[in-house]
A and B are shown apart, each in its own frame.
Chain A
Amino acid sequence: MIRGDSMAHLVELLDVYKIYGEGLESEVRALDGVSLTIERGEFVAVVGQSGSGKSTMMNVLGCLDVPTRGEYLLDGTDVRELSDRQLSRIRNKQIGFIFQQYNLIQSLTVLENVELPLIYQGIDPIDRRDMALEALERVGLSERIKHHPTEMSGGQQQRVAIARAIATRPPIIMADEPTGALDSHTGLEVLAFLRELNNEGSTVILITHDNGIAATARRVVRLTDGKIVEDHPQDVDWYAPVQRAKKGGMDL
């Protein structure tokens, strides 16, 4: 449970390691002594090539995975001390996930997908429906709530996923390559939406391999081989993704 200790950093990684096959010759250090703090209201891009450990970092930050060593304080709480129940509640209430592959449940309708986190919160059906519809309206999908994800385009599916992420009004949004499967125009829409959420006060953590996309964030954390090699604020360049796309070769 997040204690709401306003003095603490929102996210604090202290010398965190995630090691697969530790001690073996084939040992992989996905995170190799990472320390990082993120404050409330930041818009952070975590950039790195594939295999740099950026997805592992998101999994750790999102309480989907536990570090091999090191401390992770979420709003001052050491997540290693939390039970499955408490971790589930954090994922449910504090974090909204947006994935590259959308990760919608195909057998459920759009509305049911967006309602799902609210169901796990135990919100009663009428309020739940209202909250889900509100979220869908924000992403401009209030018309197609009875459709199944397979009947929609990639961009629409990602908007459903965003609606699901924001339906519970979480303080943290974690987006793992949210534009990776989208065309450049749709990708920009998604980025603009993340920006909007950030302006409204949400902390946004954006994971990407694309420097152009990372340029839309106020702060860049660059990972190479599980280590942070760069961490600095930057001027936001809204046009970087477009220019890179125009130069060709780079998909958003």
Chain B
Amino acid sequence: MNLWQAVKMAWKSIWGKKGRSALTILGIFIGIAAVMTIVSVMDGYKRAMTAQYSAMGTGIINVTIYDWSYDEQGNDVSKDYFPDLRAFCNSLKEVQGVSPQGRLYNVTVSYSTKSTANMRRQLDDNGNLIGEAPPDMYYGSDQYSRCNNLTLVRGRDLAALDMSKYNQVCTLGADAAKLFFGTTNPVGKNLMVNGTAYRVVGVYAPRLEDNNTGYNSNLDNIIIFPYTDQRMLGGEKPNEFVVKLRDSNKLKEVKARINGFLKGVVPNENFYVYSNDQWQQAEEAALGMVGGVLAGIAAISLLVGGIGIMNIMLVTVTERTREIGIRRAIGAQRASIVAQFLIEAAMLCGFGGLVGIAVGTGGSLILGQILFKMTIYPSFPVTLGAFSLSVAIGILFGSYPAAKASRLQPVEALRAE
């Protein structure tokens, strides 16, 4: 007997008892739908997280130096480590760029009627941004854009000369440009920064396709100032730096070398060198744990569903004892009987899996929207995996009833009512 015949027979028997078959696969369908939803939502969130990190750029090392000193009048006379760090990093062939990367707070930026003094970052219950959020303001070197995965679309980038001449200029991220200037070209316009005019020299391309999600800071709503202006703008001496590598595989190696260099320069090892892949890994690990627990719960529902299948298949075997006897009498081998019931169980569960996949896809879309404001489709491997899993459950839990059916003695099976 070939497989196709067996599949046709199984289909006949499933279709012959539509109502019961539908109820039987309920457990499998719910389990698969739950697994699909959980796995694909986790998967989708992880992908979004990875996108966020890669928008910031890969192969990035962050350096923090916390070595401050003040004179008797309380003036900040801390050493500026950037020239040393830049000199060292530029000597490494793996390094593409290096820049201070400090955040400026208490800076008011205005243009025409728009002022950051009137902007606040506010989220509604769904995590959507309400109104306009003020841009994040940073200072950096001429290599800031290179270190932060920014590409220029208008004007020019910050230049080394801007640093040495203390030029009052700035560059804007795509969303910050939109915020102040709408559709007009900001290049050459002056922003008022704490009452002083700063000329916009360049605008960067957007780094993220969708910055609508309020949970993460908007990577494109930014203003970058030359780091030499930071004292005027009320920032501290640069103590955070970013080093961009040509090849992210060299991360570990370069980190070690920067560490070694700073040990000889900064007293008391008052510095910290880290890469953002560390954060990414930690976040992924945490996410994986949550996903594992949820998947475990879903697996239990699949187990229950599988036991349901086994029960119904046992009932079916009992009901069809006579049929089994007839089949045996006219020449069915044990193996044929096993195949018949296994295929029937696998097909039942396969149908349950298909329905589960459909519902799971819907669940992923809905949950993705509610939780993360993302459109999450289950990936092909997840879909294929879910289907294989449901068929495997059918085979696993169908094997006992199938074995039982095949062990019936033909003569006894024929005697059954």
Question: Cβ of A85: which chain B residues have Cβ within 8 Å of it?
Answer: 333-335
State in angstroms the CA–CA spacing of A65 and B325 once bound together.
12
Give B406's nearest chain A residue, CB to CB: A84
State in angstroms the CA–CA spacing of A27 and B27 once bound together.
48
CB of B128 within 8 A of chain A? Answer: no
State in angstroms the CA–CA spacing of A164 and B2 once bound together.
19
Q: Interface with A: B72-80, B234-242, B409-417, which one? A: B409-417
CB of B331 within 8 A of chain A? Answer: yes
Q: Which residue from A91, A99, A105 sits with its C-beta under 8 Å from B328?
A: A91
Q: Can you name 19 A-B residue pairings with CB atoms under 8 Å?
A: A64-B329, A64-B414, A65-B409, A85-B333, A88-B331, A89-B331, A91-B329, A91-B410, A103-B325, A103-B326, A104-B326, A105-B323, A107-B323, A117-B330, A117-B331, A120-B1, A120-B330, A120-B333, A121-B331
Give A105's nearest chain B residue, CB to CB: B323
Question: Cβ of B409: which chain A residues have Cβ within 8 Å of it?
Answer: 65
CB of A178 within 8 A of chain B? Answer: no
B2 touches A122 (CB 8 A): yes
CB of B212 within 8 A of chain A? Answer: no
Give A88's nearest chain B residue, CB to CB: B333
State in angstroms the CA–CA spacing of A164 and B327 once bound together.
12
CB of B263 within 8 A of chain A? Answer: no
Binary interface encoding of chain B residues 319-341 relative to chain A, with 1 for a CB under 8 A from any of its CBs, else 0: 00011011111111111100000
Q: Which residue from B16, B322, B334, B414 sits with its C-beta under 8 Å from A84?
A: B334
State in angstroms the CA–CA spacing of A89 and B331 once bound together.
6
CB of A97 within 8 A of chain B? Answer: yes
CB of B13 within 8 A of chain A? Answer: yes
Question: Cβ of B118: which chain A residues have Cβ within 8 Å of it?
Answer: none
Q: How many residues belonging to A are interface residues under a CB distance threshold of 8 Å?
A: 26
Q: Smallest distance from the beta carbon of B335 to chain A beta carbons, Å?
A: 8
Q: Smallest distance from the beta carbon of B171 to chain A beta carbons, Å?
A: 74
Question: Cβ of B322: which chain A residues have Cβ within 8 Å of it?
Answer: 103
CB of A186 within 8 A of chain B? Answer: no
B414 touches A103 (CB 8 A): yes
Q: Which 3 A-B pairs have the closest CB atoms?
A: A92-B331, A88-B333, A65-B411
State in angstroms the CA–CA spacing of A4 and B336 once bound together.
26
CB of B5 within 8 A of chain A? Answer: yes
State in angstroms the CA–CA spacing of A168 and B332 once bound together.
14
State in angstroms the CA–CA spacing of A122 and B328 once bound together.
15
Q: Which residue from A88, A92, A105, A122 sits with its C-beta under 8 Å from B326?
A: A105
> Which residues of B approach A to under 8 Å, CB–CB?
1-2, 5, 12-13, 16, 322-323, 325-336, 409-411, 414
State in angstroms the CA–CA spacing of A16 and B63 once bound together.
94
Residues from 44 to 101 in A contacting B, C-beta threshold 8 Å: 59, 62, 64-65, 84-85, 88-89, 91-93, 97, 99
Overall SS of chain B's interface: helix
> Which residues of A approach B to under 8 Å, CB–CB?
59, 62, 64-65, 84-85, 88-89, 91-93, 97, 99, 103-105, 107-108, 116-117, 119-122, 164, 168
Give A89's nearest chain B residue, CB to CB: B331
Question: Cβ of A122: which chain B residues have Cβ within 8 Å of it?
Answer: 1-2
A107 touches B16 (CB 8 A): yes
Question: Cβ of B1: which chain A residues have Cβ within 8 Å of it?
Answer: 119-120, 122
Q: Smallest distance from the beta carbon of A224 to chain B beta carbons, Å?
A: 22
State in angstroms the CA–CA spacing of A59 and B410 once bound together.
9
B326 touches A119 (CB 8 A): no
Given A107-B16, A119-B5, A122-B1, are A92 and B410 neighbors across the interface (CB < 8 Å)?
no
Question: Cβ of B410: which chain A residues have Cβ within 8 Å of it?
Answer: 64-65, 91
State in angstroms the CA–CA spacing of A89 and B1 once bound together.
12
State in angstroms the CA–CA spacing of A120 and B339 once bound together.
12
State in angstroms the CA–CA spacing of A215 and B13 once bound together.
43
Q: Smallest distance from the beta carbon of A61 to chain B beta carbons, Å?
A: 12
State in angstroms the CA–CA spacing of A88 and B327 once bound together.
10
Q: Smallest distance from the beta carbon of B166 to chain A beta carbons, Å?
A: 89
Give A96's nearest chain B residue, CB to CB: B330
Which has the most chain A C-beta neighbours within 10 Å: B325, B328, B334? Answer: B328
Question: Cβ of A99: which chain B residues have Cβ within 8 Å of it?
Answer: 414
State in angstroms the CA–CA spacing of A11 and B123 once bound together.
91
Q: Smallest distance from the beta carbon of A213 to chain B beta carbons, Å?
A: 22
State in angstroms the CA–CA spacing of A62 and B329 once bound together.
8
Give B336's nearest chain A residue, CB to CB: A120
Q: Smallest distance from the beta carbon of B333 to chain A beta carbons, Å?
A: 4
Q: Smallest distance from the beta carbon of B17 to chain A beta carbons, Å?
A: 9
State in angstroms the CA–CA spacing of A62 and B414 once bound together.
13
State in angstroms the CA–CA spacing of A164 and B331 once bound together.
12
Question: Cβ of B414: which chain A residues have Cβ within 8 Å of it?
Answer: 64, 99, 103
Q: Which residue from A62, A97, A108, A120 sits with its C-beta under 8 Å from B332?
A: A120
Give B2's nearest chain A residue, CB to CB: A122
Excluding A84-B334, A91-B329, 9 further A-B contacts by CB distance (< 8 Å) are A64-B411, A64-B414, A91-B331, A92-B330, A97-B330, A105-B323, A116-B327, A116-B330, A119-B1
